[in-house]
Structure 1
Amino acid sequence: MNHSSRRQFLGRTLAGAATLGLPSVALHAQTRAVLKAGDQKGGLRALLEAAGALEGLDYDIQWSEFPAAAPLAEALNAGAVDSGPIGDAPLIFALAAGTRVKAIGANRSDSYGTAVLVRPDSPLKTASDLKGKSIATNRGSIGHFVTLKAITTAGLKPEDVNIRFLAPADAKLALTQGSVDAWATWEPYTALAETSHHARVLVGGRGLLPGLSYLAATDAAIAAKRPVLQDFLQRVVKAQDWSYRNVDAFSATLAKIIGIPPEAAKLQFERRQQKWVPIDAQVIADQQRTADFYHQVGLIRQALDVRPTFDTGFATSA
């Protein structure tokens, strides 16, 4: 057999081996599931990496980071990601838009850091002072939610303020440059603005918001990757438990991962006091009140029943 014949023989033999399903690295790699995990700044990836909770995975994670919940919700709707952390208000908008997504895990936190911020030298003192003023926030975000709750609680109407829809980075710049009077945002942006003395809290979300946020997943991912999602959720819950037992260590690692000063990382983390809770009747009732409020102020066109957007079959016990 000449050299050319030997090469042809080897080629046919290797092709036959692949056809017969003989072990190969490539074939083995294809058996691992891939979780397309969406995230927000300072979110799940930072938590999981700091806690060392990504060790021993029998699936791969493909991370995508988003600056806010609205673009994350769009990615869920498009199937570009399988799951991601999302607040109660953005989940309402996703449901209203027909996104086939469900909350598979719920957590509660102190919502003080979801706040309306103003410049340190601003003459504004209370929510009622926002009448006729401009407020920057993301449409459908928890910042949008706290804005509307703050002004309506103060006796104002949505049309009494001028809401400008801007991404966090643009909103921060607009506030700093004075092109808006206020910025409605969330953690870690609130803590970062406070500790850098770029802004102060005019109205915090404590007492205005239920402090709910979720791990959401698409219907398609729940159907095809339920064991993977369950494992991922359990890792998040355990990592959260670890973080509150190691506040200083976690805050320092979080600061490095998301690129903010340690004092801002620690402030936002400590005051949130985030805890994973079962998706029970109280969670669903609180979410329904959020949906009813959005319908009341005209942000969604029709009343919504939020119950179909929950999957209570996932365990969150650490």
Structure 2
Amino acid sequence: MGKVKAAIIGAAVVAAAGIAFAATQFRHDDTVLRVANQKGQVRAMMLASGALEGAPYRVEWSEFAAAQPLLEAVGSGAADLGLAADAPFIFAYLSGSPVKAIAVQAPARQAPEALAIIVKGDSPIRQPQDLIGRSVATTRGSIGHHLLLQVLERAKIPADKVRVTFLPPGDAKAAFDSGAIDAWATWTPYTNVAIKEGARAALDARDYGLPLYIDIANDDAIEPKRALLADFLAREAKAVAWTRANPDKFAAVLAKETGLPLDIARASFDRSNRISQPVDAAIVAHVRAIAGRYRHAGLIDVKRDVTDAFDISFADGK
């Protein structure tokens, strides 16, 4: 338990440092690509696969515990690129952040509990109606937040019938462990840790649609660093394929990078197995539906065309 908590608290500290890093001046350096990394995932994948070997540039990594601070770093120009899920990306884009989606990864299979609303093992919450009048923690604009909106929408439950508390993952875990909240809408590896410690998934994203994962670039980095970005995406695609074929080797590196126990790191892969996918009309429609939910919930009112959130010029590798 101590090791798991230390890993999560450490990630929160790194996230805070990342936000401070995001205040630094944007610079164009064609020998450096600055990549924002969430909970070790992309960095571990690239290191384990050796995909960056021979790259004609240096990668500077910054670490974050969740997508929100990662997107703040990319949007501010403190990082050139970062991988995040569809919901936080579109939330940031519609909030005016100068970012673009340049590549997409989709779940290779519908894995259980990769994204879920979790509760204590003895909780009476088992269906959407049980959330009425209950407190649910999640991170604002996150995939957990979006899952909660999907659950309420399908069950025709007004959003104000649930008490939502917005917390970063480390604080949400503390609130969940202490019983200060009734449920937590979150994602792997936080779901993995909580379930190992006795929680259960009351509602699973498999019933609502797992998220896409998106490579997101700062607008101002796209042209001056196009060659670096294209090269990184090609190497990342190879790393994604390698990871699917070598999950145990990946998990060992992920555990080392994040401080998570090996079984949690292995389960994290099982629940977030992905495959690179080209941007098409179905993906744009998927993201447009997410935007509609945020607007319907009154969380955003900026009118930006979702189609413009995608830069498909990297699809041919150029």
Question: Is the Cα contact below 8 Å between 2:40 and 2:63 reproduced in 1?
Answer: no
State the secondary structure of the residue aligned to 1:283.
helix
Q: How many equivalent pairs are there?
A: 287
> Does 2:102 match 1:104?
yes
Q: 1:209 to 1:155 in 2, by over 3 A?
A: same
State the secondary structure of the residue aligned to 1:163.
strand
Q: Which runs of 5+ in 2 are unaligned?
A: 1-27
1-side partners of 2:87 and 2:266: how far apart?
Answer: 25
> Does 2:195 match 1:194?
yes
Q: Identity over aligned residues, as a percent?
A: 43
2-side partners of 1:142 and 1:128: how far apart?
Answer: 20
1:9-28 equivalences under 5 Å are none
State the secondary structure of the residue aligned to 1:299.
coil
2-side partners of 1:153 and 1:40: how far apart?
Answer: 30
1-side partners of 2:29 and 2:163: how far apart?
Answer: 52
2-side partners of 1:169 and 1:123: how far apart?
Answer: 24
2-side partners of 1:196 and 1:100: how far apart?
Answer: 40
Higher mean C-alpha deviation, range 296-305 or range 59-68:
296-305
Counterpart position of 1:139:
140
2-side partners of 1:193 and 1:142: how far apart?
Answer: 17
Q: What do residues 199-250 of structure 1 show as CA deviations (whole Å, max 9, x unaligned)?
A: 2111111131352120000111101100100111111110110011112222
Q: Which runs of 5+ in 1 are unaligned?
A: 1-29
Cα deviation for residue 50 of structure 1 reads: 1.0
Counterpart position of 1:292:
292
Matched residue type, 1:121 = D
2-side partners of 1:31 and 1:298: how far apart?
Answer: 40
Matched residue type, 1:113 = A
Counterpart position of 2:301:
301
Q: 1:218 to 1:165 in 2, by over 3 A?
A: same
Question: Is the Cα contact below 8 Å between 1:278 and 1:316 reproduced in 2?
Answer: no
> Does 2:239 match 1:235?
no
Question: Is the Cα contact below 8 Å between 1:187 and 1:268 reproduced in 2?
Answer: yes
**Which runs of 4 or more aligned residues in structure 1 lie more than 6 Å from their structure 2 counterparts after TM superposition?**
none
Counterpart position of 2:224:
224
Which is higher, the Rg of structure 1 or of structure 2?
1
* RMSD (Å) for aligned C-alpha atoms: 1.8
Counterpart position of 2:46:
48
State the secondary structure of the residue aligned to 2:271.
helix
Counterpart position of 1:60:
58
* TM-score normalised by structure 1 residue count: 0.86
> Does 2:152 match 1:151?
yes
Matched residue type, 2:307 = R
Counterpart position of 2:13:
none
Question: Is the Cα contact below 8 Å between 2:149 and 2:293 reproduced in 1?
Answer: no
1-side partners of 2:303 and 2:161: how far apart?
Answer: 24
Question: Is the Cα contact below 8 Å between 1:42 and 1:188 reproduced in 2?
Answer: no
* TM-score normalised by structure 2 residue count: 0.86
